[in-house]
Amino acid sequence: MAAYLTRRIFKGLLTIFASVTITFFILRLMPADPVALVVDPKMGLEAQAAMKAKFGLDKPILEQYAIFIGNLIQGDMGVSFKTRQPVMAVIQEKMPWTLLLLIIVVTLSLLVGIPVGVRAAKRPNKGFDRFVSLLTMFSISIFIPFLSFAFLYLLAYYLKLLPTGGAYTPPPADGLTYYKDVARHAVLPSLVLFINNVATIILYTRNSMQDVLKEDYIRTAYSKGWNEKYVTRVHGLKNALIPTITVTGLMISSLIGGAVMTETVFAWPGVGRLIYDSVSALDYPVLQGAFLILSATVVVTSILSDLIIAWLDPRIRLG
Amino acid sequence: MIESRTFREAFFRNRLAVLGLIGVVLIALTGILAPILREYPSGYGSELYNQPSAKYPLGSDSMGLDIFAEVIWGSRSSFYISLMAVAVASLIGIPAGLISGYYKGWIGEVIDGTVDIFLTLPTLPLMIIIAAVMGPSITNVAIVIGLLAWPSLARITRNATLKISEMQFIEAARSLGINSKAILFKHIFLNIAGPVLVNLTLVMATAVLAESGLSFLGLGDPTTWSWGTILKKAWDAGAIIDTPNPWWWWLSPSLFITLYVVCFNMLGTGINDTLNPKNRED
């Protein structure tokens, strides 16, 4: 277990290091003037000179890279072109909103996706299974802004049931009213991401459950006299869940991609919307910081999902 | 290798696959024939926000342009971008997968580790950064999408290669003294063409989703019509929640994106089912 954990964490650190390196070299090796990518052209000349010295922009690229990594380790990701705030502070303000959205969506997807997948696996190629695979095909193929537009049009514009955007009605209320208000605002963005992601959970649960139900130990369990419910729940599900949890870990990375678009449409004040705003302002330091924080989120969730698998599967835990 | 005749027969008996193929061919034809079908929409028209009618089959937008023409020219960009992205992804992904699957050892480990890292990174934000730096052009967008689509292709290629290279006919080829390059690119490649083809159709589908996403976020080519660009214009003009509410403006490009992706997914699933006789229904 210790060796497994160390290997996993090492791989995670390697991934974060790779994403740091990729963004650094993408931003520096492009034909554009590197100074323009780090230093805001609207700053005063003195401030510009100070920034250049701090990031070592007059030095060779490898030295710049070392300085950049050094600053990063101290939590310094530069200053936003747009707001002049430190990038770290900007992201700290936005990240909880994105995490809230991700947690709602992942929880809902697992709560709905696993039972549906199990039920579809019990009678393969029959009515329910067919219906589910058709539905999942569409929900995987759908373009997220389209789904968002459709919900906005129906529920917010036409029926006027839900707010059209934002995370709360300004100014923020106090206590319980505030939480209720945030919940109302979270319905549409979470619904869109949920529909797009639950399909993956359903598909993986269904396929692995189908395989597991063919195993010898399932027949053994039946012949011991257990009923179907007990066999699928205890003997089947525990084994079938392993691929589902792996894919949940992997799903986060596409979920984040979806969050960028959902947050943009619904003006949800998270990191995704921050990326959209930074693109139009060509705010490179913020873009870079946002990407790094999202990569770190992906790495942490994938380590978490591997830990859960190790806990579920003694072959990994003890091996 | 599956005999091509049985493959064709099984493929055309698969309703899903045939439907997907028809859809794909129709969209490709629309894209190729765009200049004949409709004039390139540009400038300003006189009739703003027209409901779908005989003159404007899909309505007109805030500039008075024909949305039908925009959608047709959009399918041209979509098809072009998918093809470019698939080409870039194949050029990197297939050799990488073949090499890492055949010559295991350290080179295989390095390639596979790189693939692993790229598969974990959140793709869309990375695409956004690269596209923002490279500047908006339809070819740049396609290259970016291809550059980030190769890892999944490499993984599929590697897994298939690992399986095939254990087989006896490869051992036979090796003992005949055929050099490993010829074994790799002829004997093995022909035999993994199936799963690779399935993955290519998926890359075609995701490429359009990625392009539409980038265009929607304002990173597309503002001078070329694509489905994402139309949606961005509709969104910027407040067509979804403001009054007047030209629903036709965002509905048709959205439906075309969905149609395109569904068709490619159906085609991929169809080929996959045909290749695995185990899953055939009869």
Tell me if B243 sits within 8 A of A114, measured CB to CB: no
| Residue B79 and residue B261 in contact, taking contact as beta carbons nearer than 8 Å | no
Domain contains A287: yes
Q: What is the amino acid identity at position A59? A: K
Angle ∠(A34,A35,A39) on CA atoms, nearest 5 = 130
Same domain, A39 and A124: no
Determine, yes or no, domain membership for A319: no
Closest-CA distance, A269 to chain B, in angstroms, reads 16
Is the Cβ–Cβ distance between A190 and A105 less than 8 Å? Answer: yes
Inter-axis angle of helices A87-122 and A284-312, to 10 degrees?
40
Which of A32, A152, A261 lies nearest to residue B213, judging by beta carbons?
A: A261
> B235 vs A265: CB contact, 8 Å cut-off?
yes
Provide mean pLDDT across the span B66-86: 89
* Residues A144 and A15 reside in one and the same domain: no
R_g over Cα of chain A = 24
Clarify whether residues A23 and A116 are in a common domain.
no
Omega into A171 within 30° of 0, i.e. cis? yes
Local structure of residue A86 (DSSP, 8 states):
B
| Overall number of domains in chain A | 2
Per residue, what are the HEC states of chain B? CCCHHHHHHHHHHCHHHHHHHHHHHHHHHHHHCHHHHCCCCCCCCCCCCCCCCCCCCCCECCCCCEHHHHHHHHHHHHHHHHHHHHHHHHHHHHHHHHHHHHCCHHHHHHHHHHHHHHHHCCHHHHHHHHHHHHCCCHHHHHHHHHHHHHHHHHHHHHHHHHHHHCCHHHHHHHHCCCCHHHHHHHHHHHHHHHHHHHHHHHHHHHHHHHHHHHHHCCCCCCCCCCHHHHHHHHHHCCCCCCCCCCHHHHHHHHHHHHHHHHHHHHHHHHHHHHHCHHHCCC
Mean pLDDT score of chain A, rounded to an integer? 85
pLDDT of residue A34: 54
Domain boundary, last residue among A13, A42, A73: A73
Residue B193 confidence (pLDDT) above 90: no
State the nearest Cα–Cα gap between B187 and chain A, in angstroms. 31
With a pLDDT cut of 90, the percent of chain B lying above it is: 22
Binary contact (A287, B129; C-beta < 8 A): yes
Euclidean distance between CA atoms A192 and A197, whole angstroms: 9
- Give me the mean pLDDT over the B13-30 stretch: 89
d(CA B155, CA B221): 31
Contact B123 A140 (CB under 8 A): no
Chain A residues 161-200 within an 8 A CB cutoff of chain B:
164
Tens digits of per-residue pLDDT, B96-136? Answer: 999 998 887 888 889 988 898 888 888 888 888 888 888 78
Q: Which helix (H) or strand (E) holds A188?
A: helix A175-213
- Pick the residue of B226, B240, B245, B279 with the most A CBs within 10 A to test the interface with A by mutation: B240
Task: Establish if A242 belongs to a structural domain.
Answer: yes
Set out the domains of chain B in order of their start, with CATH numbers.
4-280 (1.10.3720.10)
Number of residues written out for chain A: 319
State yes or no: pLDDT of A102 exceeds 90: yes
A151 touches chain B (CB under 8 A): no
Burial classification of residue A131, based on how many CB atoms lie within 10 Å of its CB (0-12 exposed, 13-18 middle, 19 or more buried): exposed
The answer to whether residue A127 sits within a structural domain is: yes
pLDDT, position B170: 86
Residues A179 and A287 in one domain: yes
For residues B271-276, give the mean pLDDT.
82
Q: List b or e across A84-101, with b for residues whose CB sees 16 or more CB atoms inside 10 angstroms.
A: eebbbebbeebbebbebb
Whether residues A15 and B120 touch (CB distance < 8 A) is answered with yes
A94 falls in which pLDDT band (50, 70, 90)? Answer: very high
A47 lies in the same domain as A177 = no
Question: Lowest-confidence range among A106-115, A205-214, B245-254, B262-271?
Answer: B245-254
Q: Which has more pLDDT, B245 or B197?
A: B197
CA neighbours within 13 Å on the CB side: how many for B109?
Answer: 2
* Phi and psi angles of residue B97, each rounded to the nearest 5 degrees, phi first: -70, -40
Which ipTM score applies to this complex? 0.84
Identify the three-state secondary structure at position A183.
helix
| pLDDT score at B279 | 52
CATH of residue A91: 1.10.3720.10
Is residue A110 over pLDDT 90?
A: yes
Statement to judge: residues A267 and A177 lie in one domain = yes
Among A288-302, B32-46, B235-249, the range of highest mean pLDDT: A288-302
Choose the final residue of a domain: A73, A97, A126: A73
Contacts of A281 in chain B (CB under 8 A): none
Q: What domain range includes position A229?
A: 87-312
Tell whether A149 and A64 lie within a shared domain.
no
Max distance between CA atoms of chain B, in angstroms, equals 75
Spatial distance between the Cα atoms of B73 and B30, rounded to a whole number of angstroms: 8
Tokens 């709602």: give the residue. Answer: A104
Per-residue model confidence (pLDDT) at position A260: 92
- The string of pLDDT tens digits covering residues A189-245 is 999 999 989 999 999 999 999 888 888 888 888 888 888 888 888 888 888 888 898
Residue where one domain finishes, among candidates A42, A73, A104: A73
Check whether residue A229 and residue A158 sit in a common domain.
yes
Which residues are CB-neighbours of A119 under 8 A, at least 6 positions away?
A: A128
Please check whether residue A80 lies inside any domain of the structure.
no
Look at residue A252 and tell me if it is in a domain. yes
Encoded amino acid at A256, one letter? I
* Residue with the two structure tokens 């295991």: B104
Q: A287–B216: do the CB atoms touch at under 8 Å?
A: no
Tell me if B231 and A141 make a contact (CB, 8 A cut-off).
no
Distance CA(B214)–CA(B231), nearest Å, equals 11
Interchain pair B120, A26: CB under 8 A: no
Q: Say what percent of chain A tops pLDDT 70.
A: 93
Which of the two residues, B87 and A7, has the higher pLDDT score? B87
Q: How confident is the model at residue B4 (pLDDT cuts 50, 70, 90)?
A: low
Residues A10 and A137 in one domain: no
A32 and A109 in a single domain? The answer is: no
Instruction: Tell me which of A49-58, A86-95, A164-173 is least confident.
Output: A49-58
Q: CA–CA distance from A4 to each of A189, A270, A282 (Å)?
A: 37, 34, 42
Task: Determine the pLDDT at residue B281.
Answer: 47
Contact B265 A291 (CB under 8 A): no
DSSP-derived letter for residue A313 is: -
Residues A205 and A278 in one domain: yes
Residue A20's CB is within 10 A of a number of other CB atoms, namely: 19
Could you tell me how many residues make up chain B? 282
Q: What does the pLDDT read at residue B26? A: 92
CA angle B19–B23–B28, rounded 5-degree value = 150
Average pLDDT estimate for A120-130:
86
Does one domain contain both A69 and A155?
no
Give the separation between CA B187 and CA B193, rounded to whole angstroms. 11
From CA A72, how far away is CA A169, in angstroms rounded? 35
Contact between B221 and B131 under an 8 Å Cβ cutoff? The reply is: no
- SS3 state at A79: strand
Contact B262 A11 (CB under 8 A): no
User: pLDDT averaged over chain B?
Assistant: 84
The strand pairing partners of A171, in sequence order, are none
Measured between beta carbons, the chain A residues lying within 8 angstroms of B130 are 26
CA A298 to chain CA mean position, Å: 6
Model confidence over A257-267: pLDDT tens digits? 899 999 999 99
How many angstroms from the chain centroid is the CA of residue A232?
Answer: 30
- pLDDT tens across A142-171, in order? 888 899 988 988 888 888 788 877 878 777
The minimum CA-CA distance between A225 and chain B, rounded to whole Å, is 31
Q: Is residue A318 part of a domain?
A: no
Share of residues in chain A with pLDDT > 90 (%): 23
Helix (H, G, I), strand (E, B) or coil at A270: coil
| Weakest mean pLDDT among A281-285, B21-25, B150-154 | A281-285
Radius of gyration of chain B (CA): 22
